[in-house]
Structure 1
């Protein structure tokens, strides 16, 4: 009896790690990329670092709209309930909705310079932040 419970617990731990590992690697990779960017920009100039920071602040606040994280929850529920067709419908609806949201986010990223100007930031820094955001806008999936 004890051995069966132990086997079930170990099986659950193994399944959880198998699901969590790709997410963990993704998050660590993102942190590594942002740390590298910060280190390199810090060597360029403090203005470049400030511009990238302002751009990142704005693009991350609005970029959360295009992440579509709820899709994973909905699809896993549908597949778990034995209805993979519903998961496909969720995916298709997500593509349509995120297409429209991506256009909105693209335009907001192109307005980064104007947004920070309204907050009274330094002209050269917001000019560079705007450029950085416009270039980043072409990476929206």
Structure 2
């Protein structure tokens, strides 16, 4: 019995040491990390904006609304983003404010995402990049 436990322990330790070399972890590129950072910032800023005004900013003005500093004093509670978000993702594709025209069949709360390196809107699948929270919830 002791030999069996010893053998199983050695096999387990060997697998723990060898598995990362056989199957390296999938790392995100710098572009993917930057897109994810922007997306997470916009999602958080949108949620705070919604809390203050009872609705999300409209899709065609979201980036300006969240960063703008010249709203009516006393009524404006922003800016919600510390710095201006580029108008395109790291692959020079326009950001998508969900639901996009391509993905009306999916019922989902509003969100903001990138179509990823291939530039094709795959309705938040394929290589599309969306918020960490949505990724956790989709598992």
What is the TM-score with the length of structure 1 in the denominator?
0.26
Structure with larger RCO (C-alpha < 8 A, sep 6+): 1
* Structure with a larger share of its residues in helix: 1
